[in-house]
Amino acid sequence: MRVDFAPLDGITKSVFRRTWARFFGGVDRYFIPFFSPTGQHILTPRDRREIERSAQDGLPSVPQVMTCRAEDFLWALGVLADMGYQEANLNLGCPSGTVTAKGKGSGFLARPEDLDRFFDQVFSKAPVAVSVKTRLGYQSPEEFPRLLEIFNRYPIACLTVHPRVRPQKYRGEVHMEAFALAMEKSRNPVCYNGDLKSTADVEALAAQFPKLEAVMIGRGAIADPALPRRLRGGPPASREELRAFTTGLYEAYQEFYGQAEPACQRMKEVWFYLIHLFEDGQRLGGRMRRSRGAAAYEALEAEIFRELPLRRCPEGELF
């Protein structure tokens, strides 16, 4: 079974992916957080920097596009094909209000007929394989059977399902009965995404769904960066390894931004998840979140490594 690294906008951008891969790795593919094509069909320098092949450092990567206009999606696919990509992913999951108000991300799921027309135009001309990352619906899991019927009409390279609906964002109950329907009825390969944070979680899922093509892991692989490696029988992360990883990542961010302040900000977002791998991490994790300035951040990170025992896998309300 394949293991994909989920895209987390603001966290798993190229600096993170490259550093994480250097220290841990163990995933088959890395999903690049979405970019939204403009109506003028101009790739912004910022988007180009993130998706160009040299930024991937040779890692097998899948760029993700968020749009509800077939002509813009086809334009983006052309750009990605020219860069040498063989697959692009459509974002049908983003729950953010500014996105859904424009009918994009999970907002597109509220208009199944338009989505059907979009796919019809896209799949007749797509120059690369197209995969889809979706939720169960905009408001209710009851929307899913209809959406699945539409997905089944097209040769989607892989249908990644996050079994929640938009108001849940990334919290609360996952609707496994709806995911089971995807496994039963999808004519396209299916990937599961959501809340996987231990090898036991992944093994239980694989046992329940032997036909599963892939799992996609996001927060669990930040909270325990060795999780994908452990799925392949590799060792858990050691304290020294984690320290080398966070030091390397902090340095890479400082180099990227040219200053410590935004680098600290990025590191605090990583620590928001990583702290769960340490016993009684909440107190120091909370202090780190509230801290100001690079010196305070560095002192708190040193204190975590000095004081807190490591767990075997992350615990607590990770999500």
Residues that bind ligand FMN (CB under 6 A): 6-11, 33-34, 64, 91, 93, 133, 162, 170, 193-196, 217-220, 319
Residue nearest to ligand FMN (CB): 218
Could you tell me the smallest distance in angstroms from the CB atom of residue 32 to ligand FMN? 8
Question: Which of 250, 275, 281, 285 lies closest to 265 in space, CA to CA?
Answer: 250
Taking a C-beta distance cutoff of 8 angstroms, is the pair 17, 9 a contact? no
Taking a C-beta distance cutoff of 8 angstroms, is the pair 72, 104 a contact? no
Could you tell me the smallest distance in angstroms from the CB atom of residue 220 to ligand FMN? 5
Taking a C-beta distance cutoff of 8 angstroms, is the pair 67, 104 a contact? yes
Location of structure tokens 């560095």: 298
In the bound state with ligand FMN, the residue whose beta carbon lies nearer, of 125 and 289, is 289
Could you tell me the smallest distance in angstroms from the CB atom of residue 135 to ligand FMN? 9
In the bound state with ligand FMN, the residue whose beta carbon lies nearer, of 8 and 109, is 8
Could you tell me the smallest distance in angstroms from the CB atom of residue 103 to ligand FMN? 16
3-state secondary structure of 158: coil
Taking a C-beta distance cutoff of 8 angstroms, is the pair 170, 161 a contact? no
In the bound state with ligand FMN, the residue whose beta carbon lies nearer, of 79 and 227, is 227
Q: What distance in Å separates the CA atoms of residue 96 and residue 163, rounded to the nearest whole number?
A: 17
Could you tell me the smallest distance in angstroms from the CB atom of residue 164 to ligand FMN? 8
The alpha carbon dihedral of 124, 125, 131, 133 has a sign of negative
Taking a C-beta distance cutoff of 8 angstroms, is the pair 111, 104 a contact? no
In the bound state with ligand FMN, the residue whose beta carbon lies nearer, of 141 and 244, is 141
Could you tell me the smallest distance in angstroms from the CB atom of residue 193 to ligand FMN? 5
In the bound state with ligand FMN, the residue whose beta carbon lies nearer, of 95 and 124, is 95
Phi, psi dihedrals of residue 206, rounded to the nearest 5°: -65, -35
3-state secondary structure of 145: helix
In the bound state with ligand FMN, the residue whose beta carbon lies nearer, of 67 and 91, is 91
